[in-house]
Amino acid sequence: MSTSTGAGQERKAAGRPRNAQADESILDAVLALLSDGQSVAAISIEAVAAKAGVGKATIYRRWPNKEALLIDAVRAMKGPLPEPSGRSVREDLIALVRAHRTPRAQRYSKVTACLLPELLKDTELGRMYEAFVEPRREMTRQVLRRGVETGELRADLDVEMTQLMLSAPGMMQSMLRLNLGVPEEKFAETVVDAVLRGAAS
């Protein structure tokens, strides 16, 4: 298994010279179908091929089945997580929340929303999604644990709940397209400061 983050490198490593443009169109077609509210069941290799403007054979050369294609599409959507700078817990948390607010990540939220019925079933896709999301949660936990150690965060912090409190508002806001009256460029900071400072006077 290559640990490369670049899809292009992965393809070279597998010894399969490819049309990167076509691959991108294919993954993009899957995401477009999902963000349009197509259920996983309704998406067919035929539909993806038609949307991407390629033949079915082009898809089958790269992906053995629809599930593998869906998993790659979801994976392709999210960019790499930012490296926590380690300057302050507050700054690192803002960077982590902000990484979920890019247009790419916003599209991801919308696709996740459309995948939810599928993720709720105990499917291979659900397990892969979990395997994909979990390291991202873990990165937030690590920053929170560091904050407890340095004394920036309270000693009795519930790390798991705090991790969810940092991620859930943004996901719900994206999924339900809520207008919170917070300008997008202030969103991450507003969430993190609300979590850090608390609501009590």
Instruction: For residue 189, give every residue at least 6 positions away whose Cβ sits within 8 Å of its Cβ, in sequence order, or none.
Output: 94
Q: How many CB atoms lie within 10 A of CB 71?
A: 18
Count of positions on this chain that bind its own copies (CB under 8 A): 51
Q: Find the shortest distance in angstroms from Cβ 60 to its own copies.
A: 26
The whole-angstrom separation of Cα 25 and Cα 190 is 36
| Residue selected from 101, 171, 185, 188 as contacting its own copies according to rule CB under 8 A | 171
Q: What are the Cα distances from residue 50, in Å, to 37, 46, 111, 142, 152?
A: 17, 6, 20, 44, 53
CB 111 within 8 A of CB 75: no
In the range 71-110, which residues lie near its own copies by CB under 8 A? 110
Position 162 contacts its own copies (CB under 8 A): yes
Binder among 6, 8, 37, 53 for its own copies (CB under 8 A): 37
CB 163 within 8 A of CB 144: yes
Residue 144 binding its own copies, by CB under 8 A: yes
Nearest in space to 79 (alpha carbons), one of 113, 102, 112: 102
Task: Candidates 14-22, 59-67, 70-78, 115-123: pick the segment binding its own copies (CB under 8 A).
Answer: 115-123
Helical ranges in 36-102 per DSSP H: 45-52, 56-62, 66-77, 89-98
- Does residue number 70 form part of the binding site for its own copies (CB under 8 A)? no
Does position 183 interact with its own copies (CB under 8 A)? The reply is no
Residue choice 182, 183, 184, 185 for contact with its own copies (CB under 8 A)? 182
Binding site for its own copies (CB under 8 A): 37-39, 41-42, 110, 113-114, 116-121, 144, 147, 151-155, 157-158, 160-162, 164-165, 167-169, 171-173, 175-178, 180-182, 190-191, 194-201
